[in-house]
Amino acid sequence: MEPLYGGLLLADSINLGDEGARSVDEDPVNLALREIGGVSLRQGIPCYSSVEMQALFHKPYCASNALVLSLLSLLCTGEALVKLPANVTVPAVIMFGDSIVDQGANNNLGTLIKCNFAPYGQDFEGGVPTGRFSNGKTPPDLLAEELGIKEILPAYLDSNTKDEDLRTGSVLSLADQLKMFNEYIGKLKGLVGEEETSNILANSLFLVVSGNNDLANTYYTIGLRRLQYDVASYADLMVASASNFIQEIYKLGARRIGVFSAPPIGCLPAQRTLAGGALRVCAEDHNQGAQMYNMKLSSEIDSLDNSLSQAKVVYIDIYNSLLDIIKNPQSYGLDVVDRGCCGSGIVEVAILCNHATPPCLDNSKYLFWDSFHPTEKGEFSSTTIMQFSSCLSISAILVFLLFCTNGTRAAIKLPRNKTIPAVIMFGDSIVDTGNNNYIETIFKVNYPPYGKDFMGGKPTGRFCDGKVPSDLLVEELGIKELLPPYLDPTLQAKDLRTGVNFASGVPYTTVFLPRLSVEQKVISLSDQLDLYKEYVAKLKELVGEDITSTIVRNSLYIVVAGSNDMTNTYFNNPLRRLHFDFSSYTDLMLNSASAFAQALYNLGARRIGVFGVPPIGCLPSQRTLAGGALRNCAENYNQLAQLFNKKLSARLNFLNTNLPQARMVYVDAFSLPLELINNPAKYGFEVANKGCCGTGVIEVAFLCTYTCTDVSDYVFWDGFHLTEKAYRVLVHQFLKKDLNSFLF
């Protein structure tokens, strides 16, 4: 099928001159002096600030503002580096930005600020300078290339632009961007009809880059604005403009909108020269201005995300990512980040970067090409497109805007620019969401009264009256309502992208040490790991290698196991106590848990939470079996749990230190549950020493036949497992206390 449509890539080189003072009829000599005089200070682009964008709609002169019509049809024949899910389409990518994404619009406009001469373009195809502010390709080219659309996106004003290019990408003036966008929409409606046009816009990715020049040049360099505004009020003005712009494109049909923060502008080579002192250090006041703007912008984006119905508006932090590259260049294969490759590298841009200012010998070692713009390597690496110019991969953007758009509102709010695309669960009956239904075991709970408080009162195989921690975790994170069991034959593709559950539990068998268990009708951690490998292979088939890597790297992995290894395999089996004392048995469990965490890491997992063992001596069944006539908590059981937990915490800290980028977190599952049991009234409970099911002192699984009158009064559902109400308390507190440990 021939591609018919694609999208818009909008780019603005936001203001850099005396706003409102310039006209098309201005004397050419004065115009040249005005423009050349500002070249090294303003990305070489004499245009108006996006803050005062409204005044530009009747001033078409503004030279390098660019609107890239990137009709990125996914039906094109290019080989995509990023593979979209089978049931997800991105008919267009629409980007608003600055000169980093100008494809050469200035070549065909009445301006002296062009870069269609050497050494610009020295690494472009054939070494041809095209008007791109780079040594080679720019993000629009790399974006189309990674999505498999075409090799380059031509400038819309290029006289050589062909009809086929109108369907796959070009560049226009920002001064008329909304008017041109409306014109484009009109043409698209004529081409594919009203309904299909609405569908294209609703499913396109809109990416907005703004603020760089407003701060670096209009505010800090030119200085007139500092007489009118302090940093805070100017940031407010910028945010209001950005907010209005987002609302305008929303009115035109945009629904997936990513808004990039300002970068650390004080670390641009030109700003180091102008404001960094004799040593050309980063200009901290500039960076502080960027941070203030970013803080206000992120708050406004959050407000828009909540107020614009059906929209997903995401704030994307490039400040910290780019600053990390600047501070640690060798980690990214770079040597020089404080100056550009062109000429001296400290001030040259546009016409100041010319034959008389030869470039460096090896631009692959440089982050910046000139004093404002990245090199092509700075805009692309083999693993991350636009790694340095936008500091966020296309895969990550897709995860943000495609996979995180759902109907579940998060109770726990993630920090800005942090995402958890999926939750992967391993463990025992505490977190099993129904895998036991699909294995040969008599320990199933897919019958009443289990599930009495689940949706529709349906028993699903969860060892609870309702939801279990696995479900509550994804619910609180806003990922989805339930975490499905991996073995469910009705599992859908969307579930693979957002997480599945491998846990399998029988109350009287072990997970960490299955070979020591009398009853082995359970999916051990080793078996669960094999299933996980199978899952990753399926995910690659569904969304491709790149997005799979992003999902795997950013997902939250939870391991809940150990209770059964202690209560049943150890304490309820006298033979085990003859073979192992407390210390040796906990070492055995520890080695198993540690090996499992390292195996997950080797498969790409980075955010791994391992729960400690709860106060097992206070479980209703263990009170009955080992708590004496008064059914007190069995203290020796709790002592064994605490010994293991202490060792587990130390081991995870060790792994964190020795495994690069690992975020292995020990989750204290002992203290809060014990607090809940000792002080039930504090949390809205009345009964904590027996379960709601049956007599409450021993029943579990098929022994559970009748229930208490009011389950909300009980901490425990049966002799081993908590009620949904109790799990909710624990999961919420876990996320509140430990979530940031996985993210930073």
Residues tagged active-site: 429, 718, 721
C-alpha 467/C-alpha 447 separation (Å) is 15
Q: What distance in Å separates the CA atoms of residue 687 and residue 609, rounded to the nearest whole number?
A: 30
Sorted by sequence, the CB contacts under 8 Å of residue 511 that are 6+ apart come out as 427, 428, 504, 505, 522, 524, 525, 561, 562, 564, 565
Task: Give the containing element (helix H, strand E) for 665.
Answer: strand 663-667
Can the peptide bond before residue 459 be classed as cis, meaning omega within 30 degrees of 0? no
Collapsing DSSP to helix, strand or coil, 261 comes out as coil
Calpha distance 740→395 (Å, rounded): 23
Could you please report the per-residue DSSP string of 482-550? ---BTT-TT--HHHHHH--B-----TTS-SS-GGG-S---S--HHHHHHHHHHHHHHHHHHH-HHHHHH
For residues 581 and 726, what is the distance between their CA atoms, to the nearest angstrom? Answer: 33
- Per the CB < 8 A criterion, the answer to whether 132 and 121 are in contact is yes
With a CB cutoff of 8 Å and minimum separation 6, the contacts of 83 are 543, 544, 545, 546, 547
Torsion from C-alpha of 504, 507, 513, 516, nearest 10 degrees: -130
> How far from the centroid of its chain's Cα atoms is residue 290's Cα?
22
Give the contacts of 220 (CB within 8 A, at least 6 positions apart): 226, 265, 271, 275, 283, 285, 286, 289
Answer whether 346's CB lies under 8 Å from 272's CB: yes
- Kind and range of the H or E run holding 30: helix 28-37
Burial pattern 707-738, b for ≥16 Cβ within 10 A else e, equals bbeebebbbbbbbbbbbbbbbbbbbeebbeee
Specify the pairing of strand 336-340 against strand 366-368.
parallel
**Cβ of 142: how many Cβ atoms within 10 Å?**
23
Long-range CB pairs of 330-333 (<8 Å, 24+ gap) are 332/381, 332/387, 332/388, 333/364, 333/377, 333/381
Token representation of residue 211: 């603020």
Contact yes or no for 441/699 (Cβ under 8 A) = no
Q: ∠271-274-278 over CA atoms, to 5°?
A: 110
Tell which residue, 429, 447, 450, 440, has the closest CA to residue 562: 429
As given in the structure block, the two tokens for residue 29 are 């000599």
**Nearest-CA neighbor of 40 among 452, 345, 406?**
345
Do 670 and 676 contact (CB within 8 A), yes or no? no
Task: Kindly state the DSSP code that residue 341 receives in the 8-state scheme.
Answer: S
